[in-house]
Amino acid sequence: MKIVIIGAVAAGSKCAAKLKRDNPNFEIEIYTEDDHISYSACGMPYFIEGMVKYEDLIARTPEEFEKNGIKVFLKHKVTEIIRREKKIRVTNKDNHLVVKYDKLVIATGATPITPPIKNVKAKNVFSLRTLEDAKNIREIMLTSKTATIVGGGYIGIELMEAFVKNGLKVNLIEFSPQILPVFDFEIAELIKAHILKKEKENVNIITSDGVVEFVLENGIAKKILTQKGNELESDFVVICAGVRPNSELARASGLELGIKNTIKVNSLMQTSDSDIYAVGDCAEKTNVITQKPAWIPMGSTANKEGRTAALTLSGKKEPFEGILGSAVTRYFDFTVAMTGLTQKEAEKNCQNIITATVTKEDIVSFMPNAKSITVKIVACKDNGKILGAQAIGCGDAIQRINSIAALLQTKGTVFDLLNLDLPYAPPYSPTIDPLLSAAQIIFNKANK
């Protein structure tokens, strides 16, 4: 059995490693146009910040894979999948190869979207996908005083922290009316208010506006012009305007595509061709709550999908049920976390929504390190099912989202939450956890 894997950041490398461990006799080859495999893309903002060493981002080197009997072909770009012959075409500099496969795993990931901005290819305009990108951004940051981030999603916020920590002044421009557009508006506003309060001097956040042009000087973006007539200057720019799945190869070979041009897969990670699998950021996901197709690329999901594909290829069937849309990041000590549906998403799936938002201390208020968090819970009034939660603040927001994620996975209700026996002690939670306070509010609203 020869298994060929295209791409190996998270899903591909996990799939390869597990396959070889479970099936030492399988022949496994990885092809990637990158210089590296098996690295932490999510860790790159912390490398740029200077908190994490470059070498530490690499989970396993190609040599370690080779030692385990997995052949790794770096800088080998796959240009075509020839399904009827079960072959792929590969280009390495001027060499062209044709490689046969018994089973093919597509793990081509996602690529940053380049918005239609004039002179977007200017030398000091970056995006963040590869380790090389991270190195380049860190290099220019270290000699800069100002930066502009285009896009206020998770990576935009993480880079803003990195730059501010390194003493830069930062513009952040977000096209939506709010930063972190996946959150509900009023929650995102609380996050923005916190950042601006802390960083009045260092951060300039512009929402509902988009960059239209970089004005060049010697090939360098000198001025940044926006739709609304803002004119900004900064030493460099990073574009974090979202990503799109790398599904070109799959599409060209006639594989069925899914939502947002992802590669359609079943719960065993099989594409419409039973000899081809897709895993990670290029593959479609299922939202466990709505049971509808979804696409939220995450390293943790990529890992689960790589494992699932390896199990299927090993003859075991252990379906991957899908995602909840759980996510977390922080701005310094301020956590922003969510799971499931926001109110705006929930309203598309349930006629009758109830929500509760509670701001309260994360542990018993007399403890000296008690800090505030805001928790918003969204539920369906018709059946009491919890649909999602958002939690933000300098206190422990993540443990609350972890609880709700577990309730979502098992279709839990507000009544389950109301009864939930969370471990209690003054250094860990108040007697009535913020989640339970929110559940009480929802329960009262539901019974009106």
> Binders of its own copies among 395-434, rule CB under 8 A?
396, 398-407, 409-412, 416, 418-429, 431-433
CA distance 340 to 296: 11
For 59-91, the DSSP string reads SS-HHHHHHTTEEEETT-EEEEEEGGGTEEEEE
The reply to whether 304 sits near its own copies by the rule CB under 8 A is yes
For residue 344, the minimal CB distance to its own copies (Å) is 19
The reply to whether 53 sits near its own copies by the rule CB under 8 A is yes
- Beta strands, E only, 279-351: 285-286, 293-294, 327-331, 334-340
Of residues 364, 372, 385, 445, which one binds its own copies by CB under 8 A?
364
For residue 426, the minimal CB distance to its own copies (Å) is 5
The reply to whether 301 sits near its own copies by the rule CB under 8 A is yes
At 101, list the tokens.
Answer: 């496969």
Hey, which residues between 309 and 338 contact its own copies (CB under 8 A)?
Answer: 316, 318, 320-330, 335, 337-338
Closest CA to 110 of 232, 270, 262: 262
At 159, list the tokens.
Answer: 């880079």
Hey, which residues between 273 and 292 contact its own copies (CB under 8 A)?
Answer: 288
Hey, which residues between 10 and 29 contact its own copies (CB under 8 A)?
Answer: 10
For 355-400, the DSSP string reads EEEEEEESS-TTSTT--EEEEEEEEETTT-BEEEEEEEESS--HHH
For residue 363, the minimal CB distance to its own copies (Å) is 10
Nearer to its own copies, 273 or 362 (CB): 362
For residue 286, the minimal CB distance to its own copies (Å) is 11
C-beta separation of 23 from 53 below 8 A: no
3-state secondary structure of 58: strand
Question: Is 380 known to be catalytic?
Answer: no
Of residues 339, 343, 355, 374, which one binds its own copies by CB under 8 A?
339
Burial class of 237 by CB neighbour count within 10 A (0 to 12, 13 to 18, 19+): buried
For residue 95, the minimal CB distance to its own copies (Å) is 34
Number of residues that bind its own copies (CB under 8 A): 75
Nearer to its own copies, 210 or 325 (CB): 325
Sheet harboring 386-393: ordered strands across?
Answer: 327-331, 334-340, 386-393, 372-380, 353-361
Per-residue contact flags (x/-) with its own copies for residues 90 to 129, judged by CB under 8 A: ----------------------------------------
Of residues 7, 16, 26, 43, which one binds its own copies by CB under 8 A?
43
Hey, which residues between 145 and 184 contact its own copies (CB under 8 A)?
Answer: 154
Hey, which residues between 209 and 248 contact its own copies (CB under 8 A)?
Answer: none
Cα-based distances in Å from 317 to 35, 105, 306, 307 = 33, 16, 13, 11
Q: Running DSSP on this structure, what letter comes out for residue 257?
A: B
Nearer to its own copies, 287 or 355 (CB): 287
**The one catalytic residue among 42, 240, 350, 380:** 42
Nearer to its own copies, 201 or 421 (CB): 421
Stated length of the chain: 448
For 306-317, the DSSP string reads HHHHHHHHTT--
For residue 427, the minimal CB distance to its own copies (Å) is 6
Cα-based distances in Å from 177 to 123, 174, 195, 207, 271 = 29, 7, 16, 5, 37
Closest CA to 38 of 74, 78, 77, 69: 74
The reply to whether 300 sits near its own copies by the rule CB under 8 A is yes
For residue 140, the minimal CB distance to its own copies (Å) is 22
The reply to whether 370 sits near its own copies by the rule CB under 8 A is no
Positions marked active-site: 42
